[in-house]
Structure 1
Amino acid sequence: MPALPDSFCPVDGARVPGGSLAWACPVCRGPLDLDFSPTPAHLKSLAGRVNSLWRYAECLPLPAPAISLGEGRTPVVELADGISAKLDFLMPTLSFKDRGAVVLAALAQRLGPERVIADSSGNAGTALAAYCARAQLPCTVYVPAGTSPKKLEQIGAHGARLEVVDGGRESAARAARTAADEPGTFYASHVHNPYFLQGTKTYVHELWEDLGGRLPDALVVPVGNGTLLLGAALAVRELYAAGLIAKAPALYAVQSAAVAPLAEAWRAGADDLVGESAPAPTFAEGIAIPRPPRARQILRAVRDFGGGFLTVTEEQIAAAQRDLAGRGLYVESTGVACWAAVRDGALGERTAVVPLCGAGAKAGLANATEG
């Protein structure tokens, strides 16, 4: 089996050897990136490969694991002239987080820790619980109080131990990080561990293949911790460097107006977060992250790819969820944020793809009386 690539800190350059259980930079305790620069396969060579995200083997840092549940290869459907949706809620655990979770679980299975822990507001925890169950790895998920009961039920059904933490998303993350420093622990952080981004980047590789070797003018993604956006940026860079696309699409990030620390920093022209963003109720609970650890990387990626930030109100989210349901697509409220942002023409005549990230069965329908 090939050696695992090293990780490194994008802030200070500190390195972590491949195969280590270290989950953060040893100097600044920030998230890590992977020292991995693959070359994608040409379009014609993909024919006949396994019908999952593992068909992009050249671009993944691990070989296809036995724990795969067939994740990936979700369909693309047209919503309006020039705007299509990728139905990433049609995954084994009903959210796009399966893309990164299967890679993290495969890594954990290879490293053989005593325990796996994670923190999540729902979807990432569900995905990790499912793939850890598949890999027969003990898993504990730290969740904030107030997490959707349906998501808690799904996490528990996969056999994971639930640790409900008083407070919000940040409180759950702090509790998990404290536990992560115990010997023999693999912290399956979808924020800090760069292997998660290696999984989410397959979203763009699939788009490129399904669109016949091209990408739309714009990729519009919901951003809380930024794992889908940063994965998308990785894939676009890989495809462009290999000469497989002539022009990179613009990257647009969508946040709830109620919790929009990155959009505020963008409007201020800042390279990092500005001030403190207080938690607030929002239908888009999955992206309500007051202080995303990869904020600098997210802002830089949007800037590098000529995009911008869009924010949506609670009324827009609820209306977009009802609109999609009327089109036959029942999606959770966080997952409709991008459609809420662009359905009224915010991108002009540019072509775009939005992800529908999580199934509506996870959290029900938003309405104006809920927060």
Structure 2
Amino acid sequence: MTPLPDRYCPIDGVRIPSASLAWCCPSCHGPLDLDFAPTPAPLKALTGRVNSLWRYAETLPLSAPSVSLGEGRTPLVPLTEGVSAKLDYLMPTLSFKDRGAVLLTELALRAEPRRVVADSSGNAGTSVAAYCARGRLPCTVYVPEGTSAKKLEQIEAHGARAVVVDGDREAAGAAAREAADAPDTFYASHVYNPYFLHGTKTYVHELWEDLGGRLPEVLVLPVGNGTLLLGAALAVAELYGAGLLDRRPALWAVQAAAVAPLARAWADGAEELPRSTPVAPTYAEGIAVPRPPRARQILRAVRGSGGTFLTVTEDQIRHAQLDLASRGLYVESTAAASWAAVREGALGTKSAVVPLCGAGLKSGLARA
């Protein structure tokens, strides 16, 4: 079995051995990064490979998947002139989170824990539950009050235990982290564990391949905890560093105006989150994260790409979801946020791709 790369803290450099069940920096308690700098294969070398995200084996810190459900290689379809949508809601558990959950579960299998715990607003929990079922790992998922009943049903259908925590998304995360400190427990955190980001980066590797070795001028990405955006930034850096891209796309980060701590920090020119951020109910529950642990990294990634932050109102989200449905694409309201940000001409003449991250069957239509 190939040795795994170590994790490390991007703030103070503390290193965590690959075999450790530690889920955060023991010094600052922040999320970890991976000591891993792969070189992706050139376009021609991908011909004939397995039709899943594992075709990008050179870029992944784990190999020989035992729990794969065929995740990845989702369709890319045009929406309007210059703007396409990548249909990541057609993943095995109906959300893009499968890209990262499969790596977390493969990692957990190597650790042989007594149990796996996760926290989620719904989609990450359903994904971790499914892959743990595939790997025969006992799993508990902590979710906040108000989580879609359909997502809870999906978690439990996979055999996982769903624990509804009194409070919001942050409360669910705190409960999971407390449980994660128990002995022989693997914390399948899509926020703290860097393996998840190395799974989500395959979104961009697929775009690059589907577009014939190039990327659009803009990648428009919904941001709560920022796992898709940070994965995208990793992939862009890998492709550009290998000489497989002649220019880097700008990263446009989209937040719901009701919960927009990163957009507010961006507007203030800050590198840290404001001490407090107004929070209101939002249809976009999947990105309703008041204090994302990787905030500094997200802001740095957007700034370094020449990108920006956009916010969308509840009416814009609702109308974007209905507009996508009228085009044959039934996605949940969070997944409509990126389209809401660009459908009225914000891009100008720039080419772009928006991700449709979760299926509408998971939560239904946003109602006025």
Equivalent residue, structure 2, for 1:54: 54
Quote how far apart the aligned CAs of 1:144 are: 0.5
Quote how far apart the aligned CAs of 1:39 are: 0.1
Quote how far apart the aligned CAs of 1:280 are: 1.6
Equivalent residue, structure 2, for 1:315: 315
Quote how far apart the aligned CAs of 1:279 are: 3.1
Summarize deviations over 1:208-230 as a string: whole Å, max 9, x none.
00000000000000000000000
Equivalent residue, structure 1, for 2:44: 44
- Which structure 2 segments of 5+ residues have no match? none
Equivalent residue, structure 2, for 1:172: 172
Q: Secondary structure at the match of 1:337?
A: helix
Equivalent residue, structure 2, for 1:251: 251
How many angstroms apart in 2 are the aligned matches of 1:84 and 1:346?
15
Equivalent residue, structure 2, for 1:33: 33
Equivalent residue, structure 2, for 1:63: 63
How many angstroms apart in 2 are the aligned matches of 1:110 and 1:12?
27
Equivalent residue, structure 2, for 1:76: 76
1:230 aligns with 2:214: no
RMSD between aligned residues: 0.5
Matched positions, count: 368
Summarize deviations over 1:227-269 as a string: whole Å, max 9, x none.
0000000000000000000000000100000000000000000
How many angstroms apart in 2 are the aligned matches of 1:280 and 1:87?
28
Equivalent residue, structure 2, for 1:158: 158
Summarize deviations over 1:188-222 as a string: whole Å, max 9, x none.
00000000001000000000000000000000000
How many angstroms apart in 1 are the aligned matches of 2:199 and 2:55?
12
Counterpart contact for 2:225–2:289, Cα < 8 Å: yes
Q: Output aligned runs, 1:149-298, within 5 Å.
A: 149-298=149-298
How many angstroms apart in 1 are the aligned matches of 2:81 and 2:32?
39
Quote how far apart the aligned CAs of 1:278 are: 3.8
How many angstroms apart in 2 are the aligned matches of 1:163 and 1:278?
27
1:260 counterpart letter in structure 2: A
2:53 counterpart letter in structure 1: L
Equivalent residue, structure 2, for 1:346: 346
Equivalent residue, structure 1, for 2:365: 365
Equivalent residue, structure 2, for 1:134: 134
How many angstroms apart in 2 are the aligned matches of 1:283 and 1:9?
34
Equivalent residue, structure 1, for 2:355: 355
Q: Secondary structure at the match of 2:90?
A: coil
Counterpart contact for 2:258–2:278, Cα < 8 Å: no
1:12 aligns with 2:12: yes
Quote how far apart the aligned CAs of 1:332 are: 0.2
1:147 aligns with 2:156: no
Quote how far apart the aligned CAs of 1:23 are: 0.2
Equivalent residue, structure 1, for 2:87: 87
Q: Secondary structure at the match of 1:142?
A: strand
Identity of aligned residues (%): 74
Q: Secondary structure at the match of 1:339?
A: helix
1:164 counterpart letter in structure 2: V
User: TM-score if structure 2 supplies the norm length?
Assistant: 0.99
Q: Secondary structure at the match of 1:56?
A: helix
Q: Secondary structure at the match of 2:219?
A: strand
Q: Secondary structure at the match of 2:89?
A: coil
How many angstroms apart in 2 are the aligned matches of 1:286 and 1:250?
23
2:302 counterpart letter in structure 1: V
1:59 counterpart letter in structure 2: T
Quote how far apart the aligned CAs of 1:110 are: 1.1
How many angstroms apart in 1 are the aligned matches of 2:293 and 2:278?
16
Summarize deviations over 1:81-101 as a string: whole Å, max 9, x none.
000000000000000000000
